[in-house]
Amino acid sequence: MDVAMFIPRCYAAPQIDQSASAESNRQQANKNVQNPSGDATEQTHDPRHMGSTYVPLDSWIYPALDRLAALGYADRGFEGMRPWTRMACARMIDKANRARRGFHLPSDEAEDLLSRLEEEFSYETGLRDGERNLNAGLESAYARVVSIGGPALTNSYHFGQTVSYDFGRPFERGTNGQAGGAFRADAGPFALYIRGEYQHAPSAPAPSEAVLDVIALKDEVPIPPDVGIGGINRLRLLDTYIALNLSPVKLSGWQLSVGRQSHSWGPGPGGAFLLSDNAEPIDMVEVVNPEPIRLRLFLKYLGPVRVDHILGRLANRTDHANPWVYGGKITFKPLPCLEIGYARLTTIGGRGGDPFTLHNFILSMFGQTSKREPGDSVPGENNNEMDWTFYVPKVRNYIVLCGEVYAFDSFIAWTRPTAYPYRPGIYITRIPGIPKLDLHIEAANTQAPGWNSGSGGNHGQVVYFNSGYHEANTNNGFLMGNVVGRDGQTIQGWLTYWASPRNTFQLMYKNNFVDPIFIPGGGAWQDYSVGNEFYRQSGFYVKSKLQYEHISHYPLLFNGSQHNVTSIVELGFMPSNRKTSSEKMETNSPKDSFEISKIGFSSRIGACTIIDTKSSNVSCEAEVVSKA
């Protein structure tokens, strides 16, 4: 059946804050609802004053929301600034529902996505309707086995990673494993999230003398000790934090969180340059506006704006123990189809490092040099990035372009485009003839040939490196950003088939290269993988991935070509949420039903059925939401 889609258009005119107007209408409707006795109902609760936990970065929810937006039915979230709170996700689902009511019925795939997401966020939808925020329960429990047969790449800062974007979980050749779970709770303005697991990784021999010599040379440090890696058996907290909505201090719409958190500050699935989920979550304090705000006067033309500020400490560093890391990101949408972001991240302090003072903080924040630093340099280790996501108009949301430019010295990356790393990408949302198939393609390059062209490259001592902070962008031994590394390039693609909202089948290819100017002899390897996610209605799920890695050339590490096979299997359970919206409608008392006028519909829509087609009256046992 041919179904016309709701395709958001791209205009240069100032955008109307539909979310704010819808929220106002929703609250007004709640105030006007009467109970059977005719008295006003109990006072509703303002969702803007409620705390909310964040959706984990490895959740199925992000791909599902991205898919729904690509199909043209959902509000596009801020793709270059994750994680999102559960309340923010519920807002996107609410806007998608209002959009489909005002236009034609969605396709079967979009209807399935919306239905499953509505079920997932049924509790948060109730909060947006004025219900009390008081909830606690298990979010997930799981066990994972990661088996690697053959020599693996385990040093992302120098050579590469066989297993990447896995929250800094340790792995070596052999059988690795994790078992754990996540718990979340909400109470008024407070929210609590705990995710912990037991981790196991086998031991590994010490690197060769030649490898240790290269590490010492490129990092400008003494030769590391010739010591093997012991087996790891430990309990570890991943994302664990307490959050507070700042409405009690007159900062409604802002949230403070304290604890351990992961971030992704860049669009696309390939890993952001500054912050990604490749390393362990950082111990930090964060202040963020989870839902977008609008600035006044001429700044209103920036459109919806989100801001994120973090201050944390990095772990297991050998250059300067426990240095501070702070930064911020601002993302705005001047057009409905365009998102632009700018972020800056600074590592400073630590034992023997640049002092973390107010003076150094201000200088490093704005990229200004200090006379007190050697060579009049900027205090600390400073990096920034600019990113964009662009839904190409007039092509029915078939093409999404995204990209990122990284700078390690200048305040703005665009000042020297040939000298700085870049990461372009394209998302083909539907393959012609196979509408449930989509394609992501990304490339990343940190060779920065224009930085020092006279010597032929940056020698791995510019990107992700600093002469004062030799471990630069790492936390507990893993790169915090993209695993392309210090002087390399990658190109990768993901082909995903959407059997259902939570059941997917994915093929992935990745080609990796390390410049021989950085690592003697260079390196090249290719990854081929197939993955699947399968969720049952009972709450049980299986995630699996099989990867073949062909190391075609890496003379420093191996004699001749090598290969390894990695299999990852995760078995887990996610309890079902509260009643869905449709279930709530069915359990409402007949006395709560009422009639509303609905123009232009002649079929059953959700729980609303047309009774009289001539007058367009609708009998509906649900909340009335005015069409924006």
Q: What is residue 159's three-state secondary structure?
A: coil
pLDDT at 40 over 60: no
pLDDT at 37 over 90: no
- Tell me, what amino acid is at 173? R
> How far apart (Å, rounded) are the C-alpha atoms in residues 618 and 621?
10
Q: Are residues 458 and 410 in the same domain?
A: yes
pLDDT at 536 over 80: yes
Residues 6+ apart with CB under 8 A from 187: 51, 133, 134, 135
Q: Are residues 606 and 556 in the same domain?
A: no
Residues 6+ apart with CB under 8 A from 551: 151, 153, 523, 524, 525, 557, 558, 561, 562, 563, 564
CA dist list (Å): 71 to 121, 339, 398, 502: 20, 18, 8, 16
> Quick check: is 113 in a domain?
no
Question: In the prediction, which pLDDT does 38 show?
Answer: 44
> Quick check: is 94 in a domain?
no
When pLDDT is averaged across residues 465-493 and rounded to a whole number, the result is 91
Among the residue ranges 217-221, 386-390, 529-533, the one predicted with the least confidence is 217-221
Q: Are residues 563 and 597 in the same domain?
A: no
> Quick check: is 376 in a domain?
yes
Instruction: Give, to the nearest 10 degrees, the angle between helix 18-32 and helix 86-102.
Output: 90
More confident residue, 389 or 379: 389
Question: In the prediction, which pLDDT does 495 show?
Answer: 97
Among the residue ranges 206-210, 541-545, 576-580, the one predicted with the least confidence is 576-580
> Quick check: is 368 in a domain?
yes
490 φ/ψ angles, rounded to the nearest 5 degrees: -140, 155
Q: Are residues 279 and 336 in the same domain?
A: yes
Q: Are residues 475 and 601 in the same domain?
A: no
* Residue 468 structural domain: 135-573
Question: In the prediction, which pLDDT does 457 show?
Answer: 59
Q: Are residues 564 and 625 in the same domain?
A: no
Model confidence at 409, pLDDT cuts 50, 70, 90, reads low
> Quick check: is 196 in a domain?
yes
CB burial of 91-127 (b: ≥16 within 10 Å; e: otherwise) equals bbbbbbbbbbeebebbbebbebbbebbbbbbbbbbbb
More confident residue, 146 or 462: 146
Q: Are residues 503 and 622 in the same domain?
A: no
When pLDDT is averaged across residues 181-208 and rounded to a whole number, the result is 96
More confident residue, 623 or 571: 571
> Quick check: is 317 in a domain?
yes
pLDDT at 212 over 80: yes
> Quick check: is 97 in a domain?
no
When pLDDT is averaged across residues 136-147 and rounded to a whole number, the result is 97
When pLDDT is averaged across residues 199-222 and rounded to a whole number, the result is 93
CA angle 176, 541, 201 (to 5 degrees): 5
Q: Are residues 402 and 551 in the same domain?
A: yes
- Tell me, what amino acid is at 600? G
pLDDT at 513 over 80: yes
CATH number, residue 309: 2.40.160.130
pLDDT at 41 over 90: no
Question: In the prediction, which pLDDT does 152 show?
Answer: 95
pLDDT at 584 over 90: no
> How far apart (Å, rounded) are the C-alpha atoms in residues 306 and 278?
23
Among 525, 505, 504, residue whose Cα is nearest residue 514:
525
Q: Are residues 601 and 553 in the same domain?
A: no
> Quick check: is 11 in a domain?
no
Model confidence at 623, pLDDT cuts 50, 70, 90, reads very low
Residue with tokens 């021989």: 516
More confident residue, 550 or 619: 550
Model confidence at 578, pLDDT cuts 50, 70, 90, reads low
> How far apart (Å, rounded) are the C-alpha atoms in residues 161 and 172?
10
Secondary structure of 319-338 in HEC code, one letter for each residue: CCCCCEEEEEEEEEEEECCE
pLDDT at 29 over 50: no
As for how many domains the chain has, the answer is 2
Question: In the prediction, which pLDDT does 281 show?
Answer: 97
Question: In the prediction, which pLDDT does 216 show?
Answer: 92
Q: Across the chain, what does the average pLDDT equal? A: 83
- Tell me, what amino acid is at 96? A
Q: Are residues 476 and 606 in the same domain?
A: no
Q: Are residues 569 and 596 in the same domain?
A: no
Residues 6+ apart with CB under 8 A from 394: none
pLDDT at 90 over 60: yes
Q: Are residues 527 and 417 in the same domain?
A: yes
- Residue 490: both structure tokens together: 């990658």
